[in-house]
Amino acid sequence: MFLHLIPTTMNNETWLTVGEGVQRQVLTYGPDLMLVKVRFATGGVGVRHQHVHAQITYVESGVFRCTVGEEAVVLRAGETFYAAPLVWHGVECLEAGVLLDSFSPMREDFV
């Protein structure tokens, strides 16, 4: 059995700046799944990229232009997108907000 807990009090201090106007916070993970919060200022960009992980992203707040493969759509709070492994994807923040990213398997490069 594998259990990894990150205390909430620690989470408040573990934001990592990963780009201009973009900060990431790992919430929890196990070998097969990871949950990450990403905070964006208006104009922040999640640069188009690809990885071997399946990714589901939930828009907690804000407005984002999301591109997955060749399809682009504007998403708002409560909406989601899925990026299959090795599919190019990225986001542009149109209105400051937060995304919740889940990855399978976990992103070892994030810990």
Q: 34 burial class (0-12, 13-18, 19+ CB within 10 angstroms)?
A: buried
Per-residue pLDDT averaged across 44-67, rounded? 98
Asked if 44 and 21 count as a contact pair (C-beta separation under 8 A), the reply is yes
Q: CA end-to-end span of the chain, whole Å?
A: 19
User: Cis peptide before 85, with omega less than 30 degrees from 0?
Assistant: no
Cβ pair 68, 20 in contact under 8 A: no
pTM across the whole model: 0.88
List, for residues 18-41, the tens digit of each pLDDT value.
999 999 999 999 999 999 999 999
Domains observed in the chain: 14-106 (2.60.120.10)
Find tokens 């097969």 and name the residue: 32
Q: Is the pLDDT of residue 10 over 50?
A: no
Spatial neighbors of 28 by CB under 8 A, at least 6 apart, are 4, 5, 6, 34, 35
CA gyration radius for the chain? 14
Confidence of residue 7 (pLDDT cuts 50, 70, 90): low
Helix, strand or coil, per DSSP, at residue 44: coil
